[in-house]
Structures are given as structure tokens and as C-alpha cells.
Amino acid sequence: MKILVVDDTEANRKLLSWILEDDGHDVVEAANGQEAVDLFKSNQPDMVLMDVMMPIMDGYEATAAIKDYLGETHIPIIFLTALSDDASLAKCLAIGGDDFLSKPINEQVLQAKIKAHSRIRDLNEQVGAKNEELKRLHAYNIREQEIAKAVFDRAMAASMQDSTNTRHYVSAAATFNGDLLLTAPSPSGGLYTLLADFTGHGLPAAIGALPVSQIFYDNTNEGKAVSDIAREINRALEKFLPDDMFAVAAIAELNSEGNRFSIWSGGLPDILITDAKGKLKTTLQSTHMPLGVLPDEEFERDVKIYDMELDDHVYIYSDGIPEALNPQGEMYGEERLLKMFDGSQKDPFVRLIYDIKQFTGSGQNDDITIIELVCKPTEMDEAALQPNHSKQLPWKVELDLKPEDLRGTSPVSTLIDMMGVSTIISAHKDFLHTIMSELFSNALEHGVLGLSSELKLSEDGYLDYYQQRSERLDALNDGFVKIAVEFTTNGEQGNLAIQIKDSGEGFDINNMRKSCDDEAFGRGVSLIETLCESVEYSEGGTRVDVKYTIH
Amino acid sequence: MPVECAQDGGALTISIVGRFDFEMVQEFRTAYADKDASSYVIDMRGTEHMDSSALGMLLNMRKSLGEAANISIINCRPQIKKILTISRFDKKFKIE
């Protein structure tokens, strides 16, 4: 260790030097305060032994000057003093000294104090180094956050501005919270939206956002079905992101008339649908695993399709809203959220954002991502992107499904993919999937397997129903479901004729009509009727013919 | 300890107390890694909240133990059950 010894008496300096050098230290000697300050600066010692009473500049003044020069760096200064009154000793410490030793110097006490102060100095050095490291990391982190934010701002900038159908709010927080909100027009005049919430914050989350926004824009530009977009994004994220990184997300489409809403959602909080007056009509719970979790072959493409009334409002948001914390650490919660949608608020969207800001009391540091969709015609220019029907060739597909085909996974997805190769059908895949899944399961379950839908009425019945379904399917020896799909076009519009026949006993067609009003199982059929031109049952209920028009 | 581990015969029970979030990542991994167990039970009796990184930690556990490993999640509070339900974690875990 290098030690600066300051004393105006040469004998004292020599004595101390002799002791210290004997212990292996390097010694620098100064004869007064001024010299001490100068030598301190030029020699950078590790410790100072300082006399108090000296000519030119005394020990107090020199100590103050050295400590001032050091700033936050810690170098111990130990006073050597013949003074013994409490006030003088107190002054030594008050001025910035770290300790004092009484003259005449006791060698053992001197050595012990040097050791103790050397330990303190080492600790200080370590803390200082860690502090520097932290400062560096912090600066690095801020830089990363800025990059993440820039990446996201750019991804979102390509998004549409709010139109007559949408309003959105995304926190203007300084750092990126992992939420991505995109909207885009569809070639047929509808509107797509995607809200994704990535695990993590900052740069790691931004990495996932790049492929998501790219796939979203590419696919919406081509008018792809919501389920196909979800599947593409899932495939990309599953392939590129580590296992514990994924995005909870909703991907939705509102058609150009504003009366049909299709949605795929995984892991997001309940989506809210209100009437024109802001009163909650229903909530849609997510039904899928988040994007980027399941391998492609396990991915579930089911999209929910809803008929909307004019001026219905849809609210899609991330968990930043229900999980917003107030200064007491309490969550905003679902109850407060739903209260905004009891019909008493003139503008629940604005009111909700205001209420959360009030609740958190943070002003700037909120974490809100929400989009409002208003169900009404989109007024978007669709003429330019209309598909050209005249170039389409007519085609027909027939499937004759035997028991072994019926036991496997539903053939509907495969069939829809075959049909979707035809470009003008591709945009209709979600509707067709819903229609055909419903018709196929009716033909299989009520037709071939002879299960009664009344079983499903109670909760236990539901389990019974699926139990019986699986037993009967396993035991099935003969029986069939035949599916035929025919596409024709007159140059103006395309027509799909879908026919499904089953080997079952059929049913009383008139009786089924009535039961359609029933909530528990009639919903499927009535939705199909609104999606199609016509639905006709014949041959004693063993055959159904559906006409679907592609405009 | 926010993550507690107890083994009864072949079943390893991992109890998570407080907030199940990113700060537990190391502790949670240590709780199941390199343990010789026939089944795994994650007890959420004392879990007040979980975020998406906790979902990620559960998926990591599933990946590291393999699809065949028997992992159940028990005693979830309603809020936590909801998070697991809307993310369809019942497809990968037994939720009781």
C-alpha cells in the first residue's frame, strides 16, 4: 500500500516511515498541508496519516482539500495528534478525517488501524466498481429499451389510423411493455385487428413483434382468413422463440358491412361486446393457448364467428388494464372494469382510460393497450381489390367417409385447406370452417351415431354425451358421411354448393326447426343460416344442402 | 421461502407463495430440475398472482420434463384459474 505521511517534524516522519516500510508499505512524505495536497494529487496514495498543527497549511485544511478533490472515492485519512481535548478530536472527524491516533504513536495500534482502514478502503473500492458496472448496465438497458420502442413504433406506424370503426389507446410509456396493436384493411373492405401481448418487456419482446407484424400485414393484404393468420404467426413464433416466450393474442376481422365479427383468441382477458349505449351484452373468453406455444400440428384453428347488430361495440385489451395497480398495490380488477360498461357511461372507452389513470395515480406510467371496434359499414374502398371471378375454374370435391375415416380427427380442416387453394375462397375459410364443422358433426353425431342433442342440456349430460359419442364411434362397424362441395361461377359471383349425407335414421325436419330456438344447441344451426344463402334438409333429415355465395 | 419443495414417496410437491413471476425463475427451475419423481404437483394455495412469465416457466417445466411427465396444478384461486383457463393450459397440465 502507498501511504502519505504528513508531519512538519522530520523525526516523526522518519519514525513512521521506518515502521511502515518495515511492514512492506511505500511511503511518501510531506512536511506541511500544502505539500500534502500536492503530493496526494501527484502520487495517488491509498491512505494518509495526517498531523494537525503544521505551518503554511494545517491538517484540517489539507484534509478538507483532499476530500474535496476525491469526491466520492474513499481514501482513509487518519489524524495523528498530540491534542487530547474532545473538541479537537471531534473536529478531526467532522472535517472529513476517518480516524485519529494519539501521539506518541503506539506501533501496534498504528498497524491495527492501518489494517482496519485498508479493509474499509477495499470494500469501498468494490462497491464503487459495482456501482460503475450498474451505471453502465443501466445505460445499456435504457438504450435497449429505446431500440425496442423504436422497433415497435415502426411496426405499429404501418397500422391504419383510427377510422370510423376504430379507436385505440396505447400507453406512451418510455419503455416498451410488450403489447402490439395492429390494424389493416382487408381486400373485401373489412377490417382486421391484432392485439398481442408478449412475455417480457423491452428488447426480448420486440424480437417477437417483428415476424408478427410482417406476417399480419402480408396476410391481411391478401385477405387471408383469421385462422390462417393465427396459424402462420403461431408457426413463426414457435419456430423462432425460446420455449418460455410467447404472445397472448387476439386476431379479429370485421366484415365490410360491419355485421359479422370473427375472432381467434388465446390467453387474452375477456373481450367485451356492448350495445350502442355502452351496456355489456356479452363477454368472449379466450379459447386457445397463446401464439408460439403449440407446434403446428397441434395448433387449433377454430375461430368464433358472431353476428353483430348495428353500433355494437367490441373492446379488446391486454391484462395491463385489469392488473393496473394503485399506490397501495391493489389491482384495478374486473369488477371496476365491467362497471364502466353498465350502460351509464356516455363514452365508456374514454371514461375507462380516465378511470384507470385516476386509479393508478401515475399519469404517465400506465400500461394500457385497448382497441374499440364499432360495428357498422366500414366505408372502405373495396373496388380496386375485388377478386376476378371470371378467371376461376369450376370444380367439385367428393368425400365418402367410412367408419375408419370418421374415427380419426375431423376431415373438415383438411377439406377446407383443399378448397382454400382457390384464391377467392381463401378469404371465406373461417365461415366455411364454421359451417362445415357444424354440419359434419350434426351428420356424424345425430345421424350416424344416433345421439340425442337433448343429452347436452345439463352439465352432466354434456359429459355423458361425449362419453357416448366416443363409445359409439369406437364400436361403429358400418355407416358413412358423404360430403360433396361444388364451386361454380358466372363471372359476377362464385357459388358453393355443399351437400352432406349420412347413413343415420334422419329426424323430423319440422321438429328440428323448433328446437333451433333453444340456447344450448340451436345456436349452431341458426348461425349457419345467417352465414349461408340457404340451408335445406331433405331425404327425411339425412341430407342437407347448403348454398354459399362468394361476392 | 416463496418456492417450497416437498417429496412424498414418488410425488414432488412444489408450493408457490406470493407472486408467481419472473423473480422466481431460478428458484422454480431448481425445484423440479434433476429430481427423481414419478409425478409433480404444483400447489398454488398461497399464490396470489401470476403473470405471463410464470406461464412461460410452466411451459419450460413441461418441455424439460417431457410430454409424458405427470404434472398437476392444484388449489388455484379463481383469478389464477381464469388465467390458466383462457390460455388453455389444461391442454398441457392437469388442473384441479
Please write the tens of the pLDDT for every residue from A404-436.
888 877 788 888 888 877 777 877 888 888 888
* Chain B residues inside the 8 Å CB shell of A294: 91
What number is the average pLDDT over the span A303-332?
Answer: 91
Q: CA B5, CA A140: separation in Å to the nearest integer?
A: 37
Q: Which of the residue ranges A27-31, A280-284, A526-530 would you say has the lowest mean pLDDT?
A: A526-530
End-to-end CA distance of chain B: 24
> Cell 385487428 identifies what position?
A193
Is pLDDT above 80 for A366?
Answer: no
* Chain A residues inside the 8 Å CB shell of B78: none
Give A243 or A313, the one with higher predicted confidence.
Answer: A313
Q: Which of the residue ranges A112-126, A201-215, A281-295, A473-487 would you say has the lowest mean pLDDT?
A: A201-215
Check CB contact of A292 with chain B, cutoff 8 Å: no
- Residue A497's CB is within 10 A of a number of other CB atoms, namely 16
What is the model's pLDDT at position A340? 94
Is pLDDT above 70 for A14?
Answer: yes
Residue A292 phi/psi, 5-degree rounding, is: 100, 5
CB spacing of A244 vs B89 below 8 angstroms: no
Is pLDDT above 50 for A302?
Answer: yes
Is pLDDT above 80 for A380?
Answer: no
What number is the average pLDDT over the span A333-360?
Answer: 91
Is pLDDT above 60 for A382?
Answer: no
> Residue A253 in 3-state DSSP?
strand
Yes or no: say if A481 and A406 are a contact pair by the CB < 8 Å rule.
yes
Second CATH level (architecture) for the domain B3-95: 2-Layer Sandwich (3.30)
What number is the average pLDDT over the span A141-168?
Answer: 80
Please write the tens of the pLDDT for every residue from B6-51.
887 789 999 999 889 888 888 999 999 888 888 999 999 999 888 8
Q: CA B65, CA A349: separation in Å to the nearest integer?
A: 45
Q: H helices within chain B, ranges in order?
A: 25-32, 52-65, 78-86
Instruction: State whether ipTM is beyond 0.85.
Output: no
CB spacing of A244 vs B53 below 8 angstroms: yes
Is pLDDT above 50 for A343?
Answer: yes
Q: Nearest CA of chain A to the CA of B39: how many Å?
A: 22
Please write the tens of the pLDDT for every residue from B75-92.
999 889 988 988 999 989
What number is the average pLDDT over the span A539-547?
Answer: 90
- In total, the C-beta contacts within 8 angstroms joining chain A to chain B are 55
What is the model's pLDDT at position A362? 67
Yes or no: say if A98 and A76 are a contact pair by the CB < 8 Å rule.
yes
User: Of the segments A141-150, A510-519, B86-95, which one has the largest average pLDDT value?
Assistant: B86-95
CB spacing of A243 vs B63 below 8 angstroms: yes
What is the model's pLDDT at position A337? 94
**Type of residue numbered B37:** A
Strands B39-43 and B70-74 come out as: parallel
Please write the tens of the pLDDT for every residue from A156-195.
777 767 778 899 888 866 567 788 899 998 888 899 999 9
Cis status of the peptide bond prior to A348, with omega within 30 of 0:
no
Please write the tens of the pLDDT for every residue from A439-460.
898 899 888 988 887 776 666 6
What is the model's pLDDT at position A383? 47
CB spacing of B60 vs A287 below 8 angstroms: no
Yes or no: say if B94 and B40 are a contact pair by the CB < 8 Å rule.
no
Please write the tens of the pLDDT for every residue from A56-70.
999 999 999 999 998
What is the model's pLDDT at position A451? 84
H-helix or E-strand containing A197?
strand A191-198
Going by pLDDT thresholds of 50, 70 and 90, the confidence category of residue A219 is: very high
* Chain A residues inside the 8 Å CB shell of B88: 266-267, 286-289
Yes or no: say if A469 and A452 are a contact pair by the CB < 8 Å rule.
no
What number is the average pLDDT over the span A349-377?
Answer: 85
Cα-based angle A428, A431, A432 (whole degrees, multiple of 5): 80
B21, B26, B58, B86: best to mutate for the A interface, most A CBs within 10 A: B86
Q: Name the residue of chain B whose CA is nearest to A270's CA.
A: B86
All domains in chain A, ordered by first residue: 2-127 (3.40.50.2300), 158-374 (3.60.40.10), 387-550 (3.30.565.10)
Task: Calculate the alpha carbon distances from A317 to A71, A340, A481, A544 in Å.
Answer: 50, 14, 42, 40
**Which of A284, A288, A307 lies closest to A227, judged by CA?**
A288
Q: Nearest CA of chain A to the CA of B35: how many Å?
A: 21
Give A140 or A460, the one with higher predicted confidence.
Answer: A140
Residue A50 phi/psi, 5-degree rounding, is: -120, 120
What is the model's pLDDT at position A420? 76
Q: Report DSSP state, residue B67.
A: T
Q: What percent of chain A has pLDDT over 90?
A: 42
Q: Which of the residue ranges A8-22, A389-403, A492-506, B17-31 would you say has the lowest mean pLDDT?
A: A389-403
Going by pLDDT thresholds of 50, 70 and 90, the confidence category of residue A292 is: very high
Q: CA A503, CA A338: separation in Å to the nearest integer?
A: 48
What is the model's pLDDT at position A523? 45
Yes or no: say if B95 and B81 are a contact pair by the CB < 8 Å rule.
yes
Q: What percent of chain A has pLDDT over 70?
A: 91
What is the model's pLDDT at position A115? 92
Q: Average pLDDT of chain A?
A: 86
Q: CA A250, CA A314: separation in Å to the nearest integer?
A: 12
Yes or no: say if A279 and A300 are a contact pair by the CB < 8 Å rule.
no
Q: Name the residue of chain B whose CA is nearest to A322's CA.
A: B79
Torsion of Cα atoms, A277 then A281 then A287 then A290, to 10°: 20
Yes or no: say if A285 and B86 are a contact pair by the CB < 8 Å rule.
yes
Q: Which of the residue ranges A1-15, A47-61, A446-460 would you say has the lowest mean pLDDT?
A: A446-460
Question: Domain segments of chain B: what residues?
Answer: 3-95
Region of residue B9 (phi > 0: left; psi between -120 and 50: alpha; otherwise: beta) = left
A228-287 residues touching B, CB cutoff 8 A: 243-246, 248, 266-270, 285-287
Task: Calculate the alpha carbon distances from A331 to A258, A319, A336 in Å.
Answer: 35, 11, 10
End-to-end CA distance of chain A: 88
- Residue A372's CB is within 10 A of a number of other CB atoms, namely 22
Yes or no: say if A59 and A41 are a contact pair by the CB < 8 Å rule.
no
Q: H helices within A326-450, ranges in order?
A: 333-339, 348-360, 403-407, 412-420, 423-426, 429-441
What is the model's pLDDT at position A500? 93
* Three cell numbers, residue B5: 419443495
Please tell me the total number of residues recorded for chain A in this structure: 551
Q: Name the residue of chain A whose CA is nearest to B90's CA.
A: A289
**Which of A488, A297, A487, A256 lies closest to A379, judged by CA?**
A256
Q: Which of the residue ranges A7-21, A62-76, A424-438, A519-533 would you say has the lowest mean pLDDT?
A: A519-533
What number is the average pLDDT over the span A511-533?
Answer: 59
Is pLDDT above 50 for A514?
Answer: no
Strands A534-538 and A179-185 come out as: unpaired
A199, A248, A300, A330: best to mutate for the B interface, most B CBs within 10 A: A199
Give B4 or B28, the one with higher predicted confidence.
Answer: B28
Is pLDDT above 80 for A361?
Answer: yes
> Cell 351415431 identifies what position?
A449
Going by pLDDT thresholds of 50, 70 and 90, the confidence category of residue A519 is: very low
Q: Nearest CA of chain A to the CA of B89: how many Å?
A: 7
* Three cell numbers, residue A546: 347448403
Is pLDDT above 80 for A38?
Answer: yes
